[in-house]
Structure 1
Amino acid sequence: MPRKSTARLAALTVAAVCSTVSGVVLTTPAHADSVRIHDIQGTTRLSPLAGQKVTDVAGIVTGVRAYGSSKGFWIQDPTPDDDPATSEGIFVFTGSAPKTAVGDSVTVTGTVSEYVPGGTSSGNQSVTEITRPTVTVLSGGNPVPAPVVIDAQTVPAEYAPAGDTAANGSINGLTLEPATYALDYYESLEGMNVQVADARVVTASNRYSELWVTVKPHEHANRRGGTVYGSYRSQNTGRLQIQSLGPAADFPTADVGDTLTGTTTGPLDYNQYGGYTLDATEIGALKSGGLQRETTRKQGRGELAVATYNVENLDPSDSTFEAHASAIVNNLQSPDIVSLEEIQDNNGATDDGTVDASQTVDKLIDAIVAAGGPHYDWRSIDPVNDQDGGQPGGNIRQVFLFNPQRVSFTDRPGGDSTTAVGVTEVHGKARLTVSPGRIDPAGEAWKDSRKPLVGEFVFRGRTVFVIANHFASKGGDQALHAQYQPPTRGSETQRHLQAAEVHAFVEDILDTQKNADVIALGDINDFEFSDTAKILEGDGELWSAIKSLRKSERYTYDYQGNSQVLDQILVSPSIRRGCDVDYDSVHINSEFHDQISDHDPQVLRFRP
């Protein structure tokens, strides 16, 4: 069938009034003449026939989704046009378990719709679908159209075009350039049968039966098999999410560095949990890459070891205490000071006003002792109930563990959930007004977010100031694959305010005592190259120690195929310029399917 002209498509388009229902953009139905799938898909992300009724759209069923909230099937035209921008596949939304099978030759009559996974407020792209379908099965057992092979040669190096400024930065109305941009290339295959071969896993499988692979094995690769996200322009175009249309029990249990050998084949979908996704009808055999959890070295007698570790909503009901204890004792080698993030109160997410976390912390300390570690002492400040964000009722907070055989804590009374810590000068030395204390807990920067915990420690006669942080999360940011390019990172506004507050507090210490040893650490929820990190670092008052690593080794977290930095340890000039400063991001969680936290801990060793 020859390619329909632009004039022909325009004649089929009828003006209509748009509305949004449950993330599905519909228009008042209007009839369109018999069309092919590529006419429905068109040359942009939005169908030129959106809102119109189409009749007897022909195709071969390539995949069936009989689970979840988006039940339906994919069809593909076995006779494609010659335009690489137009997809030959489309999803037919049935709403209930489809009665079709792979290989069926069908015709579909229904309404063309644009569905936005996650809702229009998410900023995500849309999926072109046929809804309210009437399906006629003409025959069964037909050959499925051969899959399009997605590999390093076919996926462009550039990720996305710049959005149309006249459309608030949206790329929806731009003509697809599949030979130039990766997002355009994937969009040009939306709904089509595709295939990857011998693809390396770059995000481990999770409880939702999802994993990520790369079709570009050399793209920003690290030595452990992942793909590093090193700048806002390093989106890593070879990443692709893999799900399965088969039983969840058959989904591979994979770690980073494993390989799906052979071929993985199925329709190319788009969802809110990762963007373009291969929904596999056939999935490759898993070959283990043999990835092992790392162990850092033990600190020397004259070295102070300071660590940060997000233990992911730890509360007394969890089953992970022994594993966390083993990680601290064996993988981290029992650091002298451990800043813990996401310690919940004594009854976890039960929202009954409880804020005390002594049972949670004591249970972890007991587990550490049982694992052969030191009997840590601890300091923290209980938050005001439900004022610090996180899981409702959980009251997460930062906690200092410290080994009293190696380091002492300087207690100064008066620190509580609402009192701001300050800096004073005594005999030419900086000291905290309260210890432990919290930075400006009533400040706007910390609204519905964790307030920094500050403590004053002494190691071998030298005072060390430690600031434990857990900045505002990235929740609500537009995804890398959003229709808006570049995507909006709205959450960083609060992190910038938080970084400025912490930096100002560090300046107060250094203005009081130029050579003070100061460490700001924790879950910063932002990258080492971000403006958040730049604000924290200032004019050299702090320096993120992860920058001491090669760029290919800079990561503490793994998200949607990108190994990236969220956790940081920043140090003052007196520490940075000292002898034998040693930083290690210890990879024990983020790359593994059986992780006990989604963050990797870090350790800094230095000689005060």
Structure 2
Amino acid sequence: MKSKFLTPIFSAVATATVILIPQSVHAETTSAPSTKTVSIHDIQGTGHYSPLNNKKVQDVEGIVTYQYDIRGQHYFHMQTPDKKTDNNPNTSEGIIVYTGNKKADVKVGDAIKVTGTVNEYAIDGYDDKAKTDLPVTEINARDDQGGKISIESSNQPLPKPYVIKHVPEAISSNDNFKTFNRNRYAIDYWESLEGMRVQTGNVRSVGPQEHGDLFTVPEDIPAETKNGGLLLKQNDTNGERIPFKMYDNNKARDFNVVTGDHFKGPITGYVNYGFQNYKINVDLEDMKKTYQKGQTQPQPTSITPEKQKLTMASYNLENFSNDVKSSSDDKAQKLANGIVKNMKQPDIIGVTEVQDNDGPGNGGPQGDQSYERLIRAIKTAAGVQNINILILTLK
């Protein structure tokens, strides 16, 4: 089988020490722990769950490739140097390191050793993520839980990115992960790259950007819809898609990408998992540099308003509020343009997903400022200020 890397080098394997003790027992209180040498690929294993889950590992070697935080919790990715990989395509050479609410004093390019506890944990998802999502393998290196990170050297070359060409069309084996075949199942393919630095070529968007996420396919996969998308079929759930999660994620939500837009590779990112999908974490500005507008144009309604007819419409405002951090001015104006131009100013609009005035904040239920903000945007889009707009709320 082919190696993960384009130019594999067969050499000695990076070593570390694993102490096989219960997670609740401190290493220093154990008189004679059993030990063996491990590397990142040993921790990742050849399946969806680490064979060393809940075990403490010491001095795991890797190069820092990527850093980020989610809701105040800090993470970074590290990866085995190219010359120390195991040449097994089923075992990932990357791993996520968790440091809690303290950012690790490391930077991209540092060669480090990490001591901590191996965990399988769903990092990013809905409240029930522990029941519905796959976990990612991480090393918990919090210093208040016995974790330790030492920098051996800096400014090291990053491992070569694994080049993604085509992802399997079938998503999983449907046997509760008893079968692991990265060449046949997409979810196994991504698991074998978890935490790793990867690269794609030219890709095409198969849906609009949503919540800073973007689903694409390689440019050479034929379009199945007029604008370049894919069709969901009875026996084909399109596992070949390549999902991206763009950071800064809040700013990425204003990136206007639609079905059929193009991105010129190479695009480099880092494999992670969240909200029930493996995704490649990428920098928003890097994605913008590769962006090429497609031919897709918004299609206005075919209904022509008439004075003797009442027109009605529904519109999902996607968590719109008066909070400019979560609902930017650009979003407000796009929603208003949709109502005025594409929907041709219907007489009655039923809207959903309107948040209270402070959006995701902890304020009260009042939403009057959110509605007033949308009304102002509608008047601006229409070019007139004497439009009568009545807001009716259901209680």
TM-score (norm 2): 0.69
Relative to structure 1, is the Cα distance of residues 298 and 265 closer, same or farther in structure 2, using a 3 angstrom cutoff? same
Relative to structure 1, is the Cα distance of residues 263 and 196 closer, same or farther in structure 2, using a 3 angstrom cutoff? same
Aligned with 1:276 (options 275, 278, 286): 278
CA contact (8 A) 2:169 2:236 kept: no
Unmatched runs of 5 consecutive residues or more in structure 1: 5-11, 19-29, 165-170, 385-608
CA contact (8 A) 1:34 1:54 kept: no
Corresponding residue for residue 480 of structure 1: none
Corresponding residue for residue 82 of structure 1: 87
Corresponding residue for residue 28 of structure 2: none
Shift of 1:185: 0.1
Distance 2:110 2:381 in 1: 63
Aligned with 1:72 (options 71, 75, 79): 75
Q: Does 1:340 align with 2:346?
A: no
Instruction: In structure 2, give the amino acid aligned to 1:275.
Output: N
Instruction: In structure 2, give the amino acid aligned to 1:73.
Output: F
Unmatched runs of 5 consecutive residues or more in structure 2: 1-9, 25-32, 142-146
Shift of 1:214: 2.6
Distance 1:340 1:43 in 2: 50
CA contact (8 A) 1:33 1:55 kept: no
Shift of 1:277: 2.1
Relative to structure 1, is the Cα distance of residues 325 and 266 closer, same or farther in structure 2, using a 3 angstrom cutoff? closer
Shift of 1:135: 2.2
Could you report, residue by residue, the CA deviation over 1:471-522 in whole angstroms, capped at 9, with x for unpaired residues? xxxxxxxxxxxxxxxxxxxxxxxxxxxxxxxxxxxxxxxxxxxxxxxxxxxx
Instruction: In structure 2, give the amino acid aligned to 1:197.
Output: G
Aligned with 1:144 (options 158, 167, 175): 158
Corresponding residue for residue 116 of structure 1: 122
Specify the SS of the correspondent of 1:82: coil
CA contact (8 A) 1:32 1:55 kept: no
Q: Provide the aligned length of Structure 1 versus Structure 2.
A: 349
TM-score (norm 1): 0.47
Shift of 1:238: 1.3
Distance 2:99 2:380 in 1: 53
Corresponding residue for residue 6 of structure 2: none
Q: Does 1:126 align with 2:135?
A: yes
- Structure 1 residues 402-551: aligned runs within 5 Å: none
Corresponding residue for residue 255 of structure 1: 257
CA RMSD of aligned residues (A): 4.7
Shift of 1:140: 2.4
Relative to structure 1, is the Cα distance of residues 331 and 34 closer, same or farther in structure 2, using a 3 angstrom cutoff? same
Aligned with 1:63 (options 56, 62, 66): 66
Instruction: In structure 1, give the amino acid aligned to 2:192.
Output: S
Distance 1:39 1:65 in 2: 24
Distance 1:47 1:266 in 2: 23
Say which one has the larger Rg: 1
Relative to structure 1, is the Cα distance of residues 346 and 214 closer, same or farther in structure 2, using a 3 angstrom cutoff? closer
Q: Does 1:49 align with 2:56?
A: no
What stretches of structure 1 move > 4 A for 4+ residues in a row?
A: 1-4, 12-18, 203-206, 230-233, 246-252, 281-284, 303-307, 313-326, 343-352, 366-372, 374-380
Shift of 1:40: 0.6
Relative to structure 1, is the Cα distance of residues 87 and 44 closer, same or farther in structure 2, using a 3 angstrom cutoff? same
CA contact (8 A) 2:227 2:295 kept: no
Corresponding residue for residue 106 of structure 1: 112
- Structure 1 residues 575-590: aligned runs within 5 Å: none
Could you report, residue by residue, the CA deviation over 1:182-213 in whole angstroms, capped at 9, with x for unpaired residues? 0110011001110112222344456x654333
Shift of 1:371: 6.0
Relative to structure 1, is the Cα distance of residues 214 and 242 closer, same or farther in structure 2, using a 3 angstrom cutoff? farther
Relative to structure 1, is the Cα distance of residues 178 and 51 closer, same or farther in structure 2, using a 3 angstrom cutoff? same
Aligned with 1:194 (options 191, 195, 198): 198
Shift of 1:307: 4.8
Relative to structure 1, is the Cα distance of residues 40 and 344 closer, same or farther in structure 2, using a 3 angstrom cutoff? closer
Distance 1:322 1:238 in 2: 31
Could you report, residue by residue, the CA deviation over 1:116-159 in whole angstroms, capped at 9, with x for unpaired residues? 1246544111111111232232222322221111123xx11111
Aligned with 1:294 (options 294, 299, 312): 299
Aligned with 1:97 (options 95, 103, 108): 103
Distance 1:37 1:279 in 2: 20
